[in-house]
Each structure stands twice: as C-alpha cells, then as structure tokens.
Amino acid sequence: MKMHGEQEKSVIPRTSCNILHGVFFVIAGWILFQGTGDLARRVVLFSFGLITFFRIYLTFFGLLERRFDWSEFGGVTFALFVYQVGFAFLGCNSLRSLGVIDVLAIGVFLLGGYLNTFSEYQRRKFKQRPENRGKLYTEGLFKYARHINYFGDFLWVGAWAVVGASFWALLVPLILGMGFIFYFIPPLTKHLRAKYGDQFDSWSQRTKAFIPFVY
C-alpha cells in the first residue's frame, strides 16, 4: 500500500471515492428515514453521515496533498461504506431513546472530527511554507500525539458506533484501533524515521504515538 511519498492530486481515485461516498450517504439516508426506530437517533445518525461526507470531501480536495492511488481506494471506500450504510442499517430500528451516553458520543464525534481535520489543516499550512521544506511537523495538535489524526478517526468512528446502538457496530472502532496500532503506525514510524532521522527520534521520545499522554 503506497501511503506515503511524493505529493500529487490523484484526481481520478479521489473523485471516484467521493462519488461512491455520496452514493453511500444517500443509501444511508434512505435506510434511516425508512426505519422504525427512535426518530432522534435516526436524525443524529443522518447528521453524522452528512458531517462526515463534507469533512472527507474537504480532506481529499482541500487538505490532503500526498498521493492517494488505487491501492488505497478499496480499503477507504469499504470503510466509508461500513460507516455510512452499516451504522445506518444497525441503528435505524433501535427504539431506545437518546440518553446521556449518546449525548456524550455526539461530543466525542465532534471532537474526533476536529482532531482529524484541523490537525491536517495545521500540517498543510506548515508544509506550504518554503522555509519548512524537509522539516517534520511536530507542533499544533501533533505535539499531543504523533498520529493525532488517527486518534481523531478512532474517536469519531467510535462515537458513531455508540449511537448506532448495536454490539456489532462497536466492533468497527475496535478493529479500526487495532489496525492503526498494529498495521498503519509501525510502517509509518519506519518511514518517518528513515526520512527525518534525528527530528523524528526527538519527537518520538517526547510524544506518544496514538493516544495523547498514554500510548
């Protein structure tokens, strides 16, 4: 999987992924408003889908400058299908009214989206300045965790799963978290160490990898 390397627009795979994401969102909306469960829960699930659609669009076409090619297309598209259609299907018929845990989950969802998107914005602004060419970005939200953007993903997906009100939904963030820890972060660590050397070593000594101040 080519996750890193030269920056390029990758227009066709990005556009294809976003078109499919839009289709998934429409399907999810149909599922939710055909459902028989608690209306407030269905509205929240729909709102999560809407926010995620626009945030992912912004990331692809406004923030993400690195290569996004077909090797990533399948995995990202499948994940978006699970989040949009899967969580809608699992939560659309839940009769349980929104409670304190759900309200907290809404806050966590917004926090996770902020950590993911704003951290990418901060890094992009840093990389755009010519004087920072060849430098590793370790400030902003990235001073709290080396992969604070991944942690943000874990939070908003986990919160979405909680509002989905299904045991099966909760398996999704668990799998995602394990994927970050055991599959995505180790090769990225190797890549960053090889590219930035002492800059990365210094950063890794004072900054946790995934969960701020914990791991």
At 9, the pLDDT band (50, 70, 90 cuts) reads: low
Residue 151 resides in a domain: yes
Residue 80's pLDDT is 99
Residue 213 resides in a domain: no
User: How confident is the model over 186-190, as a mean pLDDT?
Assistant: 97
The DSSP annotation for 35-86 comes to: --S-HHHHHHHHHHHHHHHHHHHHIIIII--B---HHHHHHHHHHHHIIIII
Residue 191 resides in a domain: yes
Amino acid in position 97: S
Question: Does residue 90 register a pLDDT over 70?
Answer: yes
Note the pLDDT tens digit of each residue in 148-174: 999 999 999 999 999 999 999 999 999
Residue 213's pLDDT is 96
Residue 1's pLDDT is 37
Question: Does residue 8 register a pLDDT over 60?
Answer: no
At 10, the pLDDT band (50, 70, 90 cuts) reads: confident
Residue 182 resides in a domain: yes
The two three-digit tokens of residue 125, written as one number: 């602004």
Cα(82)–Cα(161) distance, integer angstroms:
10
- Could you tell me which residues are beta bridge partners of residue 66? 7
At 67, the pLDDT band (50, 70, 90 cuts) reads: confident
What proportion of the chain, given as a percentage, has pLDDT over 90?
92
| Structural domain for 195, as ranges | 11-206
Residue 65's pLDDT is 80
The DSSP annotation for the chain comes to: ---SSSB---HHHHHHHHHHHHHHHHHHHHHHHH--S-HHHHHHHHHHHHHHHHHHHHIIIII--B---HHHHHHHHHHHHIIIIIHHHHHTT--PPP-HHHHHHHHHHHHHHHHHHHHHHHHHHHHHSGGGTTPPP--GGGGT-TTHHHHHHHHHHHHHHHHTT-HHHHHHHHHHHHHIIIIIHHHHHHHHHHHHTHHHHHHHHHS-SSSTTT-
Residue 90 resides in a domain: yes
Residue 5 resides in a domain: no
Residue 2 resides in a domain: no
The two three-digit tokens of residue 50, written as one number: 């809407």
Residue 171 resides in a domain: yes
* Domain tally, the chain: 1
Question: Does residue 2 register a pLDDT over 60?
Answer: no
Rounded to 5 degrees, φ, ψ at 66 are: -75, 170
Question: Does residue 3 register a pLDDT over 60?
Answer: no
At 66, the pLDDT band (50, 70, 90 cuts) reads: confident
